[in-house]
Structure 1
Amino acid sequence: MPLTLGIDIGTYETKGVLVDETGCVTAQAARRHEMLVPRPGWAEHRPEEDWWGDFVFVCRALLEQSRADPHDIVAVACSAIGPCMLPVDAAGKPLMNGVLYGVDGRAEAEVRELTDRIGEDTVIKRCGNALTSQSVGPKILWLKRHRPEIYARTAHVLTSTSFLVQRLTGEVVIDHYTAANFSPLYDVATQDWTDDLADDILDLNKLPRLLWSGDIAGHITAAAAAETGLAPGTPVTAGTIDAAAEAFSVGVDRPGDMMMMYGSTIFIILRTAERVADPRIWYAPWLFEGEHASMAGLATSGTLTHWFRDQLARDLDPADAFPALAAEAAASPPGANGLLMLPYFSGERTPIHDPNAKGAIFGLNLTHTRGDIYRALIEGIACGTRHVTDTFAELGQSPKRLLAVGGGTKNALWLQATSDITGIDQIVCEKTTGASYGNAFLAALAVGLVERGDIAKWNPVETSVTAQSDPRYDKSYALFRRLYEQTKDIAAELGAL
């Protein structure tokens, strides 16, 4: 039976699956890595170790576990965190660590300068997105100004997925969905690179060739085969950002479908019938030509739960800490006994786009327990999520159905609090493997093993979460919004210190 391989590089973990043509997972493997924070507001990965090294490790683990003949793998698709910024030399060698997506705010000055120079309305009209910490263009300009010796040696600027595809096939490509995050260097109308808005960022010849996510980018080279154990000549797709593959893994494929990814960040993708332009959210062409998507994302969510475990739950076994903390939080009532938490521990992305935002735990008194604080953390993330879903509603883009995916779906308290605070029911599919599983389906689609609608057979609905109305949540959400507004100037001044 033919197999397809899907591998995804996440913020903290790489996951991979081998899947047969019926959608059955025949093998799965994972490997942990770290997000480097060399200074506050920065976020990096080591491309050789964390991206390519993990890919090779997981690929070989899957082959060993399944005992599959590499020639039975008919296609490979990969995804990774993004959009990232990675300069490489003419041989494809990384010249520095990969600069991560919107959690890295090092180019704040360049974002402001380019926005002032071009004009926000023009940027949104031409690029589909306001310039934010999610945008790659300002980060390339930061590279030019702050690492001129690296900029001078740069042959191409890649993103994480592009780097993997290049190592596998020798081809320098990027999918349109990812490229739309390279503002102001991507024109959404022409769906091509442009330097009309800023010709001082980068020579466009140094950007990857544009493809659609399901296009075959190339084939496994002899060198890549020797490292990975894959068969030479195996087709490799152009790939995409992890969140898009994750959305596809649960059947987000029609206008009105929304994915909520519970991972290191909350990331939301809404398939839309047409392009939606608003500075509070992001836009990109979807994975296939002629289709559209709007996106939003918090800066911290799963990352914040890890911080809490590591700093405030050291008495617990790390392997069992999250269920124990969830049990403690469940003993606290909705509203966390009067506690509020702003989850802005790495600034915030949508809809406020404030890299200077700070985390806060507000309302503490001597009666509060660790369970109250952890519940406030969960509810704070859910309030940030409601801020996003309310923004979509204001734009006339409320979801027709919401599909939840990711590791956080195992946390029943988090799921229920999110539905209760947003007022939106959620669907959870049978397989929550996520992006790696979506990649395996996209690989199968690329070589004609499946049709798009077959994802419903591959990954059927398992359960749902029904929103329960609670007036305490409406009150706490209103206070959450006020707390940010009344403290953002203090947060900015603290950042300046």
Structure 2
Amino acid sequence: MAYFGFDVGTSSTKAVLIGENGQLLDTATVEHAVTRGERGLVEMGMDIWWQEFKDLYSRLVGKNGIKVRGIGVSGMGPCVGITTEAGKPLAPAALYGIDWRALTEVEELTEKYGEENLLATYDSALTSQAGGPKVAWFRKRHPEAFAAGVRLFMPHSWVIWQLTGDYVLDRHSASQLTPLYDPASGEWDFAKVREIGGENFLTPRLGYSNEIAAETRASSELPELEAGIPVIFGSIDAWAEQESVGAIAHRELFLMYGTTLFLIANAETRMRHLSMWGTTGTRAGTRNLAGGLATSGALTNWFRDLTGERDYAALIKDAAAVAPGANGLLALPYFAGERTPIQDPNARGVLLGLTLDHTRGHIYRALLESTAFAVRHNIETMEVAGAEIERITCAGGGVKSPLWPQIISDVTGRAQVVRKHTIGASFGDAFMVAQTLGAVSELDEWNPVDHLVQPQDIPLYDSLYQDYRALYTATADIQHRMAGIQNS
């Protein structure tokens, strides 16, 4: 007996089989790429999500011959995939905040509803992260389809639709479709749904991430899939990964090292900040304030490809040999614009202080340090908004090497909890469904704490952080002019 966890990420999809006692029975990953277009489009075909589920489920379940007792799913988000009422995609799905396509709609809807009112009512202002403006963007381009009736999907809800035939979405994901969801009631704001999506915009049934959404039906496309397997509502990948390490307690911060660095502060009451995202949590009674960089793991991928080095270990070794501060090299990590807390799609990356003495190790370390400065900036902004952060728990691919987490602890002055398994969101998906079905009580049974990353006292980082903040202010106008050239 096993639990199947499945997660669609930005650059890859991962699946796991977890046994009754929390043992990792098997795992598999398939890589994919997003499509980047003009004027900020970042998208992916919805057919990829279901095809990858079929491939990985068949590979793991068929190979191991184990009966699956429950299925948990998650995916990058908030994505906006629009289909006909029958479920035929109108176009590739728009990705989360790294997709800037709906900036005009953000401005229009902000002017219509008022920034202060949006923040007070929905816990978030409208930014590239918000799903509502992207719905409006699709409606402008597909008016006939919207008039006839459309559905909205994210990667995990699309997979659930294929598995069960049920049209559902978790409340957390819905809370990122601002302003279509009312966080006070935990239900759709049907007035805004009609205004933005139209009279025939069909809304999915809502539930919390760890609740059972439906049961599987037999599928000729996937012979290994049995009918009657419970499937939970699931969630957006960062929140499922948060579940994988148990970082859901009040006053706890989750830090996810992935293609983008993501932060989730937990509380029992609603939190708001103009430049952050207030959301409903994965479980009843939980609230979040979240932030995210536009690049982090994507930045290290870029540098690896640029240098022609295929082995991350070699780059990490070079960077580890360099002293803090990278010999006077300071970077801004805004290579794809920036999300929180500056919310500037036209921000651009900067490397300041280059000399002929700098090596690839210096540059790589400076890039890692820049993401750490960005994390500190986000944490300080969260605390201004009222978040109380007593503990940080981390996960994600970047935790596999000790250098990056150590730099972030050194820059922020905060320890980080690392659990035994940092597999990611797919593990969290499997845990949630197993817990809901009564197979496990507490996460410690499956994933105990392994160690702490303790901060070192490096005073240089305090002064460099102030320089980091000043560098954006001093160069923002120039960055915007460069972005204008790139976008022309």
TM over 0.5: yes
Distance in 1 (CA, whole Å) between partners of 2:58 and 2:387 is 43
Structure 1 residue 199 displacement after superposition: 4.4
Cα deviation, residue 16, structure 1:
0.8
Contact 2:147 2:198 in 1 (8 A): no
For residue 63 of structure 1, the aligned residue among 61, 64, 67 is 61
For the pair 1:466 / 2:454, whether they are aligned, the reply is yes
1:389–1:398 Cα contact (<8 Å) kept: no
Q: Which SS does the other structure have where 2:394 is aligned?
A: strand
Query: Kindly tell me: are residues 490 and 197 of structure 1, through their superposed partners in 2, closer, same or farther at Cα, counting changes over 3 Å?
Result: farther
Match of residue 354 from structure 1: 344
Q: Structure 2 CA distance, aligned partners of 1:87 and 1:246?
A: 25
Say if 1:476 and 1:154 are closer, same or farther in 2 by CA, change over 3 A. farther
Q: How many residues are treated as equivalent by the alignment?
A: 484
Check whether the contact 1:156–1:207 (CA below 8 A) recurs between aligned residues: yes
1:290, CA displacement in angstroms? 2.1
State the Cα deviation string for residues 298-323 of structure 1 (Å, max 9, x = none). Answer: 11100111111112x21x3x2xx211
Deviations 1:59-97 (A, max 9, x none): 1111133221xxx21110100000001011222122211
In the other structure, the counterpart of 2:71 is: 76
Question: Secondary structure at the residue paired with 2:417?
Answer: strand
Alignment match, 1:381: 371
Provide runs of 4+ in structure 1 moved above 6 Å: none
Output aligned runs, 1:303-342, within 5 Å. 303-311=298-306, 313-314=307-308, 316=309, 318=310, 321-342=311-332
CA distance in 1 between counterparts of 2:312 and 2:303 reads 10
Distance 1:280 1:381 in 2: 18
1 CA distance for matches of 2:293 and 2:172? 19
Indicate conservation of the 8 Å contact 2:268/2:285, yes or no: no
Q: Secondary structure at the match of 1:261?
A: strand
Q: CA offset at residue 492 of structure 1?
A: 2.2
Q: Per-residue deviation at 1:455?
A: 0.4
| Aligned equivalent of 1:177 | 172
Q: Deviations over 1:272-329 (max 9, x none)?
A: 1211111122111111222212211111100111111112x21x3x2xx211011111
Residue 98 of structure 1 contacts residue 160 of structure 1 at CA under 8 Å; is this kept in 2? no
Contact persistence 2:39–2:101 (CA under 8 A): no
SS at structure 1 position matched to 2:88: coil
CA contact (8 A) 2:272 2:385 kept: no
> Structure 1: how far apart are the matches of 2:196 and 2:405?
42
Tell which deviates more after alignment, 420-429 or 146-155: 146-155
**SS state of the match for residue 222, structure 1?**
coil
Q: After the TM superposition, which residues 158-197 of structure 1 pair with which residues of structure 2 at under 5 Å, given as runs?
A: 158-197=153-192
| Deviation of 1:450 (Å) | 2.3
Residue correspondence of structure 1 range 194-213 to structure 2 within 5 A: 194-197=189-192, 199-203=194-198, 205-213=201-209
Secondary structure, in 3 states, of the residue corresponding to 2:197?
A: coil
CA deviations over 1:328-375 (Å, ceiling 9, x no partner): 111221111111111111111111111111111112121111111111
Deviation, 1:196, is: 3.7
SS at match of 2:466: helix
Cα distance change on mapping 1:275 and 1:338 into 2, 3 Å: same
Deviation at 1:5, TM superposition (A): 0.8
User: Partner amino acid for 1:41?
Assistant: G
1:7-26 aligned at under 5 Å gives the runs: 7-26=6-25
Query: Could you say what secondary structure the match of 2:195 adopts?
Result: coil
Q: Which structure 2 residue ranges, 5 or more long, are not aligned?
A: none
| 1:212 counterpart letter in structure 2 | Y
**Which one of the candidate residues 197, 215, 220 is aligned to 1:219?**
215
- What is the Cα deviation at residue 151 of structure 1? 4.4
Partner of 2:41: 42
- Aligned pair partner of 1:251 in 246, 249, 259: 246
Deviations 1:47-70 (A, max 9, x none): 112x111111111111133221xx
1:24 and 1:351 mapped to 2: Cα distance? 39
Equivalent residue in structure 2 for 1:493, among 477, 481, 485: 481
Residue type of the alignment partner of 2:55: F
Q: 97, 114, 119: which one pairs with 2:114?
A: 119
CA contact under 8 A between 1:132 and 1:353: conserved in structure 2? yes
Q: TM-score under structure 2 normalisation?
A: 0.96
Match of 2:50 among 40, 49, 52: 52
What is the aligned-residue RMSD (CA, Å)?
1.6
Q: Please tell me whether the aligned partners of residues 173 and 208 of structure 1 are also in contact (alpha carbons under 8 angstroms).
A: yes
Distance in 1 between residues matched to 2:183 and 2:105, nearest whole Å: 21
Q: Matched residues in 2 for 1:80 and 1:119: separation? A: 31
Distance 1:181 1:348 in 2: 18
* Match in the other structure for 2:85: 90
What's the offset of the Cα at 1:150?
5.5
Letter in 2 for 1:141: A
